[in-house]
Amino acid sequence: NGLRVDAVAADAPSAIDDDAAMFKGKVKKSGKLSICVFGASGDLAKKKVYPAIFSLFYDGHLPDDFVVFGYARSNMSNDEFKDRIRSSLPCRISAAKDCDVKVEKFLTRCFYTAGQYDDPEDYKSLDVAMAEQEQALWGDKKTLRLFYLSIPPSIFVPVAQNAARHVSSKSGETRVIVEKPFGRDLESSRALTEALAQDLAEEHTYRIDHYLGKELIENLTVLRFSNIVFQPLWSRTYIRNVQINFSENFGTEGRGGYFDNYGIVRDVIQNHLLQILALFAMEEPASLDAEDIRDEKVKVIRSIRPIDMDNVVLGQYKGKRDGDGVLPGYLDDDTVPPGSRCPTFAAMALFIDNARWDGVPFLIKAGKALHKRQAEIRVQFHHSPGNLYKKQLGNREENSNELVFRIQPDEGIYLNINSKIPGLGMRLDQTDLDLQYKTKYSGGALPDAYERLILDVVQGDKRLFIRNDELEAAWKLFTPMLDRIEEDEIAPELYPYGSRGPIGAHYLASRWNVRWG
Ligand code: NDP
Ligand code: BG6
């Protein structure tokens, strides 16, 4: 198909010159970069995408020659659009005095074009508008065009098609970032992949999962594969169970319309939490190359045993009195259909059928409107054999070691150990070997996940993006379970807004001899 982006980029190697070394994995200040955010009037664009691009600019990670276009249907002038995003641009280093100047400088490179998502003529106009700015700023030099599809999934295909056909870079490469959700089940995900593949080569498609851009998640593989103390422990021989917990202290407020069509399993577990599990449990990749890492992730996802519904608990939050007011239940949201059984909470036990993890329960828990906002991995080890300190330790399971990766907030890694309380006599205590990012790395705010990931796309680094076979493996795992939930109309267990979730989750954990952290 002559319209595929890979066909456009077929001569890309010859199109790569020293002037555009960003194609080779480095962002050269002399590279030429044109970004277009589709759905620029939306929530994600304002909250995450523009702030991330600005922060990259602020910290000097963008080439000197760049422009950022926004495209959506809403009618806005350039100035109105800039006013809209100005307030969301963060001054990362709060002490910096020149932030306002940098904001204004950044905004001089921002442009907005209104158009329909299905009208080729509008895309041609966008192409002309982009070319005009590129020409004015850097002439005919080879340009990397990067499209961010910050749009609802229902329009992924027409936007990707039209953008690839009418707005691709004529001289350099085009790379496209696709937001989740990538389908709702195996069938729809395959259909989406096939439709996108008509115009986008896999090589140029970047399926984003922003959890892979989080600082702690990047550190997970460093910790595993560069520390001799952890390597031998990382298996069923020493690990009793692994928990991956995600909780938010707010509901689906404002996103109920989207959420009701997906539910918590598709929204968070099938992607973010499964990716964490894959990085946690995969074998050591042959190298740090994107393909080697992704090969290992696919392998371990494929080794997960089909999910047993007896190991699944679903919940939905209900309203709760809060002083004089009320915290609204899921069904109180006007955008949610009355009587919806959509789960806002899910907990499940997964098992990996390979030699390393045979029999180790991986307990996954995710919920909205719980008592706190937190994401973490907890690794509980077997108790130390022998009974030298049995008297002092008491319950051995409760006193076994635990390694915790706190993904957010307050990023940190700590190892719970038994230790002697200083002084005469022999009293033991549980305490932490504690790495708190805030105190250890006090050099300023951590980059947002979107910053890291957008920079990776500019650099052509695909390590942190989802490959199509990974996506397929993830949907193969979850689709039978999701089908059962829908076909059997399984009613979620209700839990009050702000609580720890449904009681069933505790029974599930105790069935596998686990205490939720
Ligand atoms: P929005 O609902 O804000 O949509 C983005 C823009 O798309 C809107 O401003 C609107 O622009 C246009 N649009 C909205 N609905 C339709 C429709 N039915 N048909 C055609 N155009 C429409 O989405 P978000 O910004 O929240 O999300 C964008 C993508 O990112 C989605 O795929 C979402 O799942 C994903 N995502 C979002 C997150 C978030 O926190 N918001 C988090 C993680 C992923 P206009 O009318 O001007 O054309
Ligand atoms: C998104 C989900 O992918 O991740 C949201 O669609 C969820 O429902 C969000 O709130 C959580 O991301 P973070 O980075 O705020 O933990």
The pLDDT tens digits for 330-367 are 999 999 999 999 999 999 999 999 999 999 999 999 99
Among 2-11, 197-206, 308-317, 389-398, whose mean pLDDT is lowest? 2-11
User: Mean pLDDT, to the nearest integer, of 91-120?
Assistant: 87
Strand segments, DSSP code E, in 271-411 are: 312-318, 320-322, 325-327, 345-350, 362-367, 374-381, 402-408
- Ligand that lies nearest to the alpha carbon of residue 153, given by its number in the listed order: 1
Q: What is the pLDDT of residue 8?
A: 35
Mean pLDDT for all residues in the chain: 91
Q: State which of 36, 38, 41, 44 you would mutate to test the pocket of ligand 1, scoring each by most atoms of that ligand within 8 A of its C-beta.
A: 44
User: Mean pLDDT, to the nearest integer, of 248-270?
Assistant: 92
State in Å: Cα 12 to ligand 2 middle. 35
Q: What is the pLDDT of residue 322?
A: 87
Of 486, 479, 508, nearest in space to 341 by CA: 486
User: Mean pLDDT, to the nearest integer, of 156-177?
Assistant: 94
State in Å: Cα 333 to ligand 1 middle. 18
State in Å: Cα 42 to ligand 1 middle. 5
Residue 327: CB partners within 8 Å, gap ≥ 6? 251, 319, 320, 321, 369, 497, 498
pLDDT tens figures, 38-91 = 999 999 999 999 999 999 999 889 999 999 999 999 999 999 999 999 989 887
Residues assigned a catalytic role: 272
CB-based burial, 293-309: b 16+ in 10 Å, e otherwise: bbbbbbebbbbbeebee
Phi, psi for 344 (deg, rounded to 5): -105, 0
Q: What is the pLDDT of residue 360?
A: 98
pLDDT tens figures, 431-446 = 999 999 989 987 667 8
* Pocket of ligand 2 contains residue 402 by CB under 6 Å: no
Q: Whose CA is nearest to atom 9 of ligand 2?
A: 268
User: What percent of the chain has pLDDT above 90?
Assistant: 80
Both tokens of 140, joined, read 């005919």
Q: State which of 246, 250, 272, 276 you would mutate to test the pocket of ligand 2, scoring each by most atoms of that ligand within 8 A of its C-beta.
A: 272
Q: How far apart are CA 400 and CA 383, in angstroms?
A: 5
* Pocket of ligand 2 contains residue 376 by CB under 6 Å: no
User: Mean pLDDT, to the nearest integer, of 375-388?
Assistant: 91
Question: Residue ranges of the alpha helices (H) in 379-493?
Answer: 390-393, 437-440, 449-459, 468-487
At residue 15 the predicted structure's pLDDT band, cuts being 50, 70 and 90, is: very low
Q: What is the pLDDT of residue 18?
A: 41
444: left (phi over 0), alpha (psi -120 to 50) or beta: left
Of 248, 269, 263, nearest in space to 365 by CA: 269
At residue 385 the predicted structure's pLDDT band, cuts being 50, 70 and 90, is: confident
User: What percent of the chain has pLDDT above 70?
Assistant: 92
Angle formed by the axes of helices 156-166 and 186-197, nearest 10°:
10
Q: Which atom of ligand 1 is nearest to the CA of 255?
A: 26
Q: How far apart are CA 414 and CA 301, in angstroms?
A: 27
Q: What is the pLDDT of residue 51?
A: 96
* Pocket of ligand 2 contains residue 267 by CB under 6 Å: yes
Q: Do residues 305 and 476 lie in contact, with contact meaning Cβ atoms separated by under 8 Å?
A: no
- Ligand that lies nearest to the alpha carbon of residue 267, given by its number in the listed order: 2
Pairing label, strands 144-149, 32-38: parallel
First-last CA distance in the chain: 52
Residue with tokens 């130390």: 384
Q: What is the pLDDT of residue 22?
A: 52
Angle formed by the axes of helices 99-107 and 50-58, nearest 10°:
120
Q: Whose CA is nearest to atom 20 of ligand 1?
A: 155
Q: Which atom of ligand 2 is nearest to the CA of 211?
A: 14
- Ligand that lies nearest to the alpha carbon of residue 156, given by its number in the listed order: 1
State in Å: Cα 107 to ligand 1 middle. 22
Q: What is the pLDDT of residue 364?
A: 98
State in Å: Cα 365 to ligand 2 middle. 14
pLDDT of 10 > 90? The answer is no
